[in-house]
Chain A
Amino acid sequence: MTQALLSLDRISLSYGDIDVLRDVSLDVMPGEFVSILGPSGAGKSTIFKLLTGAVAARSGEIRFAGRPLASDDKPFAFMPQRDALMPWRRIIDNTTLGLEVQGMSRKQARKQVEPLFEEFGLGGFEQHYPHALSGGMRQRAALLRTVVQDRPVLLLDEPFGALDALTRNQMQIWLEAMWLKHRWTIILITHDVREAVMLSDRIHLLSPRPARVEQTIAVPLLRPRFSHPTVRTEAAVIETSILGSLLSPDNQEQEGPTP
Chain B
Amino acid sequence: MSSNASRMPGRMIFNHIWRALPALIAAGSLLLAWEIYCRFSGISETTLPAPSQVLLQAWLNREALWVNTVPTLRATLLGFSLSLVLAFLLSVLIDFSTLMRRALFPIFIASQTLPLVAIAPLVVLWFGFGLLPKILLVALVTFFPMLVALAEGYASTEEEIEELLASMGASRWKRFWLARLPSAVAYFFAGLRISITYAVVAAIFAEYAGAAKGLGIYMLNAKNNFRPDLVLAAVLISSLLTMVLFSATWAVQRLAAPWIESKSGRSR
Chain A interfacial positions (CB closer than 8 Å to B): 49, 52-54, 74, 76-78, 80-82, 84, 86-89, 97-98, 100-102, 129, 131-132, 149, 155
Contact = CB atoms under 8 A, between A and B. Distances in A.
B: interface residue count bin? 20 to 34
Given A84-B158, A97-B178, A131-B263, A78 B164 contact: yes
Contact of A129 (B168, B182, B262): B262
B167 A54 contact: yes
Pick the 3 closest A-B CB pairs, nearest first: A78-B167, A52-B167, A84-B160
B168 A101 contact: yes
Interface in B166-199: 166-170, 174, 178-179, 182-183, 185
B185 A88 contact: yes
B163 interface: yes
Nearest to B257: A88
Interface SS, B side: helix
Given A97-B178, A101-B178, A131-B266, A149 B168 contact: yes
A87 B178 contact: no
B259 interface: yes
A101 B170 contact: yes
Contacts of A80: 160, 163-164
A86 B160 CA distance: 10
Interface in B133-166: 158, 160-161, 163-166
A140 to B, nearest CB: 16
Contacts of A98: 168
23 contacts: A52-B166, A52-B167, A53-B166, A54-B166, A54-B167, A77-B167, A78-B164, A78-B168, A80-B160, A86-B178, A87-B259, A88-B182, A88-B185, A88-B259, A97-B178, A100-B178, A101-B168, A101-B170, A129-B262, A131-B259, A132-B262, A132-B268, A155-B167
B160 A131 contact: no
A29 to B, nearest CB: 22
